[in-house]
Every structure is written in structure tokens, then in C-alpha cells.
Amino acid sequence: MLVKGRKVSGRGEAVAANYAFGAHEDDIIIKHRLLTRTTTTRGEPPLKKLQKKFTSFFLEADKDDSNYADCEKLARAFLQELSTFEIPLLKSKAVVEANVREKENFNELKEEINRQISHAQSDIEDLKKLLQASKIERQHKEECEAIRKLIAMQPPRSETQKLIVELEKEIAALDAENTASSRMLDLRKKQFSLLLHVVDELQNTIEEEQKNMIEEMRLAAEEQKNGMEDASGGSEAMAVD
């Protein structure tokens, strides 16, 4: 008798059925069950009873021809026992056929489930891609909304243009003022350079005049000294005379 192993399925893959016994072990088990099967009225196995009926019929048939009635009675008993023994076999056959059909239905159902699982996995992958695309699209929308709010916070373009014109005017005025200041600074530099030159010339002139004055004073002192010496010499000559 075949004993089907437990089916384990995961992510669309089904494990094939395993069998706990081989064909030889199944035959031994079936034979043992047939030999030990009992009816509801008696405790003796049906196969053993059938064997006894057949043995009795065979032994009676092997006797003289005068026991035809006994042989017929034993034959009917044997056929009745055979019919009784055949009923469970037919039931077992029906059960086996039902199990085979159930197994076929189960295999078809398993294949259908595997197809559905594969289809569901494909749908899941597609939904993942769609979700990722939706997240990116939502992020872009949020960024656009943030930019729109930032733009809405700014003043109108007309006011901005007016402010730009005013700033350009101020820049032009500052440039003109800067140019005037630069010219004035250059003029002051030239005037200061001229002043330094004049001061330097004046200082040179003063120094030259001071030198000339000192030289004149020195010459005047020498002349005065020479005059005094000459006057002293004349007085001495007059005294000698």
C-alpha cells in the first residue's frame, strides 16, 4: 500500500510526493491485511474461510458421483463466500480508483495553484515597480509644490522689475559718485605732490639763504677783524714816531 508523504510548497514550488514503502513491501502489507481481515459476524479471516469452503468443495467433488447434492450445496456455499469475499475487494478497488481520481484532481489543483502563485508573484513584481514609480512621481509633485509655494512667497514681477530699475539707478549714481571721488582723489594727489614739491623747493631755498647769510656773516666778521688789526697797527706806528 502506498503511503504518500506530506506535500510542502513554497513560492510556487511543490515538492514531489514521497512514498514510504516500495512495491514489495506494499504486496506484503496487502497480503497480511487480506489474511487477517475479519467479517462483522465471525472472527475468522475471510480468505481462510474461503479456502476452507474451496477445500471442502474440492474434497467432496473428488468423491463418488452419488454426492452431487452435497457438491452442489458446497459449491453454492463456496460461491456465496467468494461473493462475500469479493465485495470488500470491489470496495477497495472503488476506494483505490477514487483515490487515483482524487490524486489526479489534486495534481491539477496543485498545478493551478502553482500557476496562480506564479501569476500572483508576477503581479506583485509589477505592483512593486508601479509603487516605486508612484513614489518617485509623488516626490516630484512635492518638490514642485514646494517650489510653487516658494515662488508664491516672492513679490510680483512688476514690483521686482521696479526694484531692479531703482537698484540700477542707485548703482549708476554710486558709479558716478565713485568716478567723481576718484577724480577728486587724483586731483588731491596731484595737489599734494605739488605742495610737497613746493615745500621741498622752499626748504632748499631757505637752506641756501641760510648758508649765504652765514657766509656773509663770516666774511663780515673777518673784514671787521682785519679792520681792527689794521687800526691797531697804525696806532702803534704813531706812538713810535
Tell me the average pLDDT of the chain: 78
d(CA 93, CA 101) in angstroms, rounded, equals: 12
Residue 129 has pLDDT above 50, yes or no: yes
pLDDT band (50, 70, 90) for residue 171: very high
User: What mean pLDDT comes out for the span 197-225?
Assistant: 86
Residue 88 has pLDDT above 70, yes or no: yes
- CB environment 117-144: b (16+ within 10 A), e (fewer): beeeeeeeeeeeeeeeeeeeeeeeeeee
User: What is the residue extent of each domain of the chain?
Assistant: 9-110, 162-232
Helix H segments across the chain? 23-36, 46-61, 68-153, 157-240
With 0.75 as the threshold, say if the pTM is over it.
no
The model's pLDDT over 17-30, given as tens digits with 9 standing for 90+, comes to: 444 456 677 667 66
* % of residues, the chain, pLDDT over 90: 24
pLDDT band (50, 70, 90) for residue 109: very high
pLDDT band (50, 70, 90) for residue 141: very high
d(CA 22, CA 26) in angstroms, rounded, equals: 6
CA distances from 136 to 24, 77, 102, 196 (A): 65, 87, 50, 76
